[in-house]
Structure 1
């Protein structure tokens, strides 16, 4: 599954409801149902080379599938797990079947019967959930209850150990050699009762089965099809119009001509098969794009340089779902494509530079907050400029990489790399008012295309060119690279922290990204190397995202001793100290994050440098308090949680405070934090402007509670040494951080003591930004030095998506 966000501006653990058993899903379907699911295609022992989903119609009437998708969710969805979709075309005849071919594996010997639709979803052979959905928007539910409440779900099948299923349980028995298939076409909304395991028996709409099919690349629809008599003759600029939404949306069009500028034959959970075309005869209105995407569902038969005439239906496709706030993509669907000639020169690209991209980001939304229906002003606003080029051939030159290549052949560049430039070649995010308008994602047009593993600071030398698209997951504009510039490695290296002096104690924070004992030993070894070599083995380390002893398995396990022992053993093996640790196990499924993972914060400490002051009684629900005065000030429990029962911490990690003693008998109070995530916030390049940051409300409440606790410590001992650190999931300029620090009067955010170009610990969508912080109270100032140690966020090869930070204190 793709590790992405609902188009948001961040990371962290999304708040998810608990998963329960739903006795009945929705109204059982009387016609179209999912009849068979097979995820073992191409796996060891498999006969068939591809995964597949088969639909059946229990009714006599024909069902038009042109507005349907089949969607897949992993069996144990996590905080960033997204549904993957395959769009359908054609129809499902009464009493008929319909076959959807999905991803291929490396094994198997038999091809599927000719599929009725093709996708590229790589399903598990043993566990997962498949839904037949009315509409093309991705589902967002990750629990059985929430999916049952979604009226778009026509049918749903959970198999194996899937937590999202209908009825008493998931369908059992799926494997590399067995599918799960309906016993009858009577739908009782109980997957465990309705399905049984057996040999895969795929059948297509023509009744073919067995494996004599092809690769599904035949043209769709048939080239002999004709448009409706009332179809409107239109040019591309007529379809695109002067706003984000087409004036011809839902209308049949014909005689739409242009030159093919890009062909996508590989679909993923965030892309669709089809091609881009552009009219070389532009109108004189800069607001109207001359390019458009034609969604074919199966492999397009056109080539770059073909002159084509297209008929079809104009669609405004919201790839992440309308309610997410994502912008739409104007497309032609159900196309009838006629090739007029081949080998034509492509329309000249629009060259994107700092001079023609406005610095102002977006107009304010209308009364509903949306910019959908506002007239575009491409010379005034960056989002309007990009929208006016939607689907058109664009070009960038000598672009600096500001976001490293991810696992899906995507990276981020800036065409104005000097704007808000970091010391290491990225682009820092200074405020909500300046999201860096010249950032742009570059993506391989097809997953088979060569693509560099680039780090921040590298360069795509020369020309990168292709159609301008809009990304489902990033929620922003994206250059689909038909031509990719020459990759230049500029040699970015991981940093090493300054060594603490003999009279200093180093205190660090590190988000280790859902660390569980089930992770590969290599992850533990790399984390250990980072802590020992790059951070120089700090005396105290606050860790975020430590999972329980069986990771994402949701069976009530909450202890994390195996996780922490495996990490400390790896640190010792890497030449580091034998760290001790302290943590508080949360209540099961009460702290958010990946369901079943029970993430929490934890302390590592080197007993040769500091000692931990243990005060018994700290547990998941007991609140820590302050006792004593002046140099006798102490915690009532250590480690202890700050106001853990307050609603501000619902489905979120609770701050854990520990009392440490240095070798010269100075007490340090350290608070380990992981505030609630930005899950649910709207994307900065979405249709809602200004985007709503709904998660901010909870972080503000959390900040107020911790601020009050810090003040209580200060009131007891004005000379107390207090460090609050961790992943606060918010920026240094955010209301939550300003509330926590009392606008700098109660705590000082050490990131603000660095030059602006060094203020980042995380890179998202090409913006180098701050989510992790180390805060100190006034007594600490003058006694500390501080740095962010960049070893992850700027690199294609990451151990975690966060950079650690370290504070060196002279007590």
Structure 2
């Protein structure tokens, strides 16, 4: 029996189509004309709705949804209260965004986000049922039958309109290709347009009946006349016809004449559906109208009768969950007995098959969630029988409408799955659950001995300390060597793809009450736990039933104090340290306005706390993204007010259109500055036919002396890599510019090494590149003299510029601490992660990475003591960052930037003693 039932993968689609037909015919609402691009561009679009019924339709709360060609959907418009369409009349919806609808017929309602050229659209009622839908590609989530052909990206006035049927109303057969015809130009109608005088026409609506046992049930069809019947009434012939359901076996055939009495608009036809006691595939038959009297037209002369069999199936949990994301018993009633409650939440519980009855298939889950809608009455260890209906929650099978009977208490819990180095799999080519890494563990007990929290808590409007990102292998989610996951490795590049860290997942620690709802977690915290795997907002989630913090990461986490006889050099990207004057091509802040004077003063105090409290007052610190020398001087003064030190500020303007530059703060009680100069500031390149500066932020060279040691520091800030992994012209351009910047700096480094080979030299700052190649251009390796053409798309085609090579001090930092920036990679709807709406972004992987480096020449390396990153930005919960800004002590540093700064200590026996 179950083998047959497992073949019901199409049931959901079938039931959805039938439900859609019911709603659409009941409401008589259809998309009668639309275009998704017009003369004014991609936003010059409209959707015209038509009411083919005999009564006014109240559309309050209805929605216009859209889909792209990948099936990602979203709501474009929710109809406000008071929205209605009279019989035979129209409603015009149009895009009101920039470059939007430019037609002469005014829109009744406007939306602000466009519909893609190869996507689709749908109208949903207030309950979310699809009433009508049109697709422009097979990949669209919205379509009926064969989708339409996209009209492309030409900005011309063309669209699609529905054909009219014999009754003169829009044809809606359930097949887009048959129902629509291309129109050019379009001719939209709005609520002020003339309504269509409705000729008398009859329609029959689809119907369904649910069989739950041996008793017969009645299925009632409604035949509707779109205007009151004339004197003498209207008659029409109605007869059933077999489809997958057979007359005499599944239902009783009907062949009769129906009459709609004078002044009335409806008649009903009842068909007897036979009961049964064994499960069955759902079946359908047809009812067809003909021979209407009085010249009345037939608008919709055929209806589907759907027999939905809901006879409870006795099944084990693993038979309910099946191999795939969607249950093979979806929509069915089931009986599953003798399972053990493993976790209890506020609105449901998980239960699992006892070990003795568990199946041997590793790709099916032996656990399932029972949704109760209120606090369950069971406890962990109860043995329960459950009668319920199988539903789907974002690719997680669950049981609803449950009747739960506890038959025993205190049972041993099923053995937990151990999550460790190999489970979940770190290899995307060998995922733990076949095509996913977590689906086969859904709602099952899981044990984690060496958990690592990778991000501080997210913050939601109703949850200040929400989910965190975790791994079970004790390692941070680090960006690793190779080309971006999912991006084809370019020809001529010998690197693999970075694996995308498939072992990363979420933890919602408070969901089952293990910790209070407002419990913060800092990234870097280690833990052990037991719990269950769940699915939440499109992503796999661990919900603990017990949790022990093994080592709590503090926040902030400062570097160690400066050791005696040591020179400390640091670098810190301060994230757009701007003044309050808008005097650049773009806002320095990157937002819509510059900060206020009070906001500048607050950021200055917070940066002082970071440099003084977290980085422990470096002797020399490179600061990236500072707008003016005056700001840097203000920060130097603030540091002097907050700490017993005296800094001098150095900054030379560059070429960034938003005004951000690189600069230095230098402690003049410990270091004597000999010179500060820009390198290659006026170097240019051919930027798509225009001469442009190579360096937006020219490298800044500091030559100084500490004790008897003369040393040099180059502060760098290379172009950001936001476009680098894309296959676009902008990416090609940005990769080339970054490559030229690195070559230029390498040339300057080599010149300095050649002139003063015994002088310690450090190249520090925000390289916007990793400590290994990303497959396009290894900027760090190029500047260090360690570039390998075989690992990069852009070739040096010559020996390395820098010889002897520089050394990256990052190599000495413990692996789990090798990061200075957090970036969330979005890999879309893969590996069981969904992208069903704006709240479900697909597989998003928070990844920590090194962008801020310290390269040392041999004389500097011989003096090297240690490199450390200060922690106050990346690892904090979002709410902690928001609260910290107003702190009265050094913790105000938390969240002041999107980078963490670092320090490098060099031994200098003759440096002046520290002043405390």
Name the TM-score, length of structure 1 as normaliser: 0.52
Deviations 1:207-254 (A, max 9, x none): xxxxxxxxxxxxxxxxxxx997056957653464335x43759x6444
The equivalent residue for 2:364 is: 288
Q: 1:791 aligns with which of 871, 881, 899?
A: 871
Compared with structure 1, are the counterparts of its residues 353 and 259 closer, same or farther at alpha carbon in structure 2 (3 Å cutoff)?
Answer: closer
**Mapped pair 1:311 → 2:389:** yes
* Helix, strand or coil at the partner of 1:788: strand
Q: 2:663 aligns with which of 600, 603, 622?
A: 603
The CA deviation at 1:288 is: 0.7
Deviations 1:652-701 (A, max 9, x none): 9944311323248967361322542467979xxxxxxxxx9999978864
Aligned equivalents of 2:813 and 2:60: distance in 1?
A: 62
**Mapped pair 1:541 → 2:559:** no
Partners of 1:295 and 1:331 within 8 A in 2: no
* Helix, strand or coil at the partner of 1:353: strand
**RMSD of Structure 2 on Structure 1 (CA):** 6.0
The CA deviation at 1:705 is: 1.7
The CA deviation at 1:279 is: 6.0
**Mapped pair 1:733 → 2:772:** yes
Residues 354-369 of structure 1 aligned to structure 2 (within 5 Å): 357-358=422-423, 361-364=426-429
The equivalent residue for 1:724 is: 763
**Mapped pair 1:494 → 2:566:** no
The equivalent residue for 2:318 is: 237
* Helix, strand or coil at the partner of 2:520: coil
Q: 1:467 aligns with which of 533, 537, 542?
A: 533
Deviations 1:299-335 (A, max 9, x none): 66866668654436647x4xxxxxxxxxxx4456xx8
The equivalent residue for 1:478 is: 541
Aligned equivalents of 1:459 and 1:262: distance in 2?
A: 23
Compared with structure 1, are the counterparts of its residues 330 and 541 closer, same or farther at alpha carbon in structure 2 (3 Å cutoff)?
Answer: same
Deviations 1:579-621 (A, max 9, x none): 4242546655xxxxxxxxx484431323733548576xxxxxx
* Helix, strand or coil at the partner of 1:284: coil
Q: 1:337 aligns with which of 397, 401, 407?
A: 401
Partners of 2:746 and 2:782 within 8 A in 1: no
The CA deviation at 1:510 is: 1.2
**Mapped pair 1:570 → 2:638:** yes
The equivalent residue for 1:508 is: 570
Partners of 2:424 and 2:432 within 8 A in 1: no
The equivalent residue for 2:717 is: 673
The CA deviation at 1:531 is: 1.0
Aligned equivalents of 2:724 and 2:899: distance in 1?
A: 20
The CA deviation at 1:286 is: 1.6
Compared with structure 1, are the counterparts of its residues 768 and 150 closer, same or farther at alpha carbon in structure 2 (3 Å cutoff)?
Answer: same
Compared with structure 1, are the counterparts of its residues 339 and 61 closer, same or farther at alpha carbon in structure 2 (3 Å cutoff)?
Answer: same
* Helix, strand or coil at the partner of 2:811: helix
Partners of 1:659 and 1:667 within 8 A in 2: no
Q: 705-714 or 303-312, which moves further after superposition? A: 303-312
Higher relative contact order (CA 8 A, sep 6+): 1
Aligned equivalents of 1:67 and 1:240: distance in 2?
A: 33
Name the TM-score, length of structure 2 as normaliser: 0.47
Q: 2:811 aligns with which of 752, 762, 779?
A: 752
Deviations 1:488-540 (A, max 9, x none): 757787233453777x7643211334555455866543431221244343344
* Helix, strand or coil at the partner of 1:388: helix
The equivalent residue for 1:807 is: 904
The CA deviation at 1:567 is: 3.8
* Helix, strand or coil at the partner of 2:781: helix
* Helix, strand or coil at the partner of 1:606: strand
| Structure with max Cα Rg | 2
Partners of 2:663 and 2:715 within 8 A in 1: no
The equivalent residue for 2:651 is: 582
* Helix, strand or coil at the partner of 1:541: strand
Deviations 1:530-574 (A, max 9, x none): 21244343344333455xxxxxxxxxxxx6678656544432332
The equivalent residue for 2:441 is: 389
Compared with structure 1, are the counterparts of its residues 187 and 585 closer, same or farther at alpha carbon in structure 2 (3 Å cutoff)?
Answer: farther
Residues 149-168 of structure 1 aligned to structure 2 (within 5 Å): none
* Helix, strand or coil at the partner of 2:747: helix
Partners of 1:262 and 1:304 within 8 A in 2: no
Aligned length: 545
Partners of 1:540 and 1:603 within 8 A in 2: no
The equivalent residue for 2:46 is: 28
Deviations 1:380-417 (A, max 9, x none): x8x85533102434343575655544543334555454
Aligned equivalents of 1:87 and 1:300: distance in 2?
A: 33
Deviations 1:682-728 (A, max 9, x none): 9xxxxxxxxx9999978864553233213422454413565433333
Partners of 1:542 and 1:604 within 8 A in 2: yes
The CA deviation at 1:760 is: 3.8
Partners of 2:446 and 2:532 within 8 A in 1: yes
Partners of 2:651 and 2:661 within 8 A in 1: no
**Mapped pair 1:743 → 2:786:** yes
* Helix, strand or coil at the partner of 1:508: strand
The equivalent residue for 2:84 is: 95
Give unpaired runs (5+ residues) of structure 2: 1-39, 86-96, 98-110, 124-188, 193-281, 283-305, 460-464, 483-497, 579-594, 788-802, 824-844, 881-893, 912-916
Aligned equivalents of 1:459 and 1:440: distance in 2?
A: 15
Partners of 1:253 and 1:314 within 8 A in 2: no
Give unpaired runs (5+ residues) of structure 1: 1-21, 33-57, 71-82, 97-128, 130-142, 156-184, 189-225, 266-272, 318-328, 365-370, 421-425, 547-558, 589-597, 616-623, 625-634, 683-691
The equivalent residue for 2:211 is: none
Partners of 2:353 and 2:366 within 8 A in 1: yes
The CA deviation at 1:751 is: 0.8
The equivalent residue for 1:192 is: none
Compared with structure 1, are the counterparts of its residues 651 and 154 closer, same or farther at alpha carbon in structure 2 (3 Å cutoff)?
Answer: farther
Deviations 1:626-651 (A, max 9, x none): xxxxxxxxx464xx688695899999
The equivalent residue for 2:744 is: 709
Aligned equivalents of 1:580 and 1:187: distance in 2?
A: 66
**Mapped pair 1:442 → 2:507:** yes
* Helix, strand or coil at the partner of 2:763: strand
